[in-house]
Homo-oligomer: A and B are copies of this chain.
């Protein structure tokens, strides 16, 4: 079979063999309507016979200027990305819409400081656009993207550029209002990041050192809970563990909060564990609120602010692949979903 000499078959060799021009071969693959059906069929058949594997991707990309690839930048190890339901749902939407544009998704990890290899990976990736889906836009090394020179779509608020996100201040207000009505006055907020694994840190209660999305949510929260005591804690990037650790910190403190607001459901589930370990029943002894509404939230009965994660991914993909899409900054609707994890503040 495959009667060639062993060297790679290229359009040129195939063209010589068939006595047609290279362009015609190219058209046979990429623009079927530019040549007669018979000729196309013949070319395709001969190509298979000669062992030609179709147009070389790099050549095509170079000349055409398109890679048909959308980068997905995750601010952590990729293994974690897959373990996080939020990210998974986002990726599902993203890949669906990217696929619709005839492109695929390339997984990239945001380089941390000093990680030369990862930075180069990002640098070298043949992509047309990049979608960032990190909990925070100021994740260490996330700036490296800017230097890349491709279209960037963020999944979080920022002043400029393309993004698709939710109104975080409003999200915070929704939670604040809910907790206020229930009478909560001592509240802990758990945010992702800030410290290496295993450590816990208490942050300024105004959210000034937090990433933007967290700061805005905290702002909304405070608006509706003007006379509440709010503590902000962080315990690293790995959500479940961080949630558990941070919650442990605040629950073992002097004036234990009556409600914990976690910046994601994944974090909230960690809080859940910590509560359980201390014999506290969520919704009765301790109110827990999350954000996102991942499937597990419904399963355990977590009160949360729902956002259309998969749609977010879909839209991010569209913005990334279609530079002409008019609306470049999209705010998606949110909704407070009250479940059993919140209840009246215990009388103390």
Contacts and interface: CB of A to CB of B under 8 A. Distances in A.
A58 B68 CA distance: 11
Interface in A34-69: 51, 53-62, 67-69
A106 B69 contact: yes
Contact of A57 (B53, B67, B109): B67
Contacts of A58: 58, 61-62, 67, 126
- The DSSP consensus for interface residues of chain A is helix
Given A69-B106, A102-B121, A57 B126 contact: yes
A280 to B, nearest CB: 22
Contacts of A82: 82, 87-88, 91-92
A67 B60 CA distance: 13
B109 A99 contact: yes
B126 A61 contact: yes
A117 interface: yes
Given A53-B148, A92-B78, A104-B106, A69 B126 contact: yes
Interface of A: 51, 53-62, 67-69, 77-79, 82-83, 87-88, 91-92, 95-96, 99, 102-109, 117-118, 120-121, 123-127, 147-149
- Nearest first, the 6 closest Cβ-Cβ pairs linking A and B are A53-B149, A79-B92, A57-B126, A58-B61, A82-B88, A58-B62
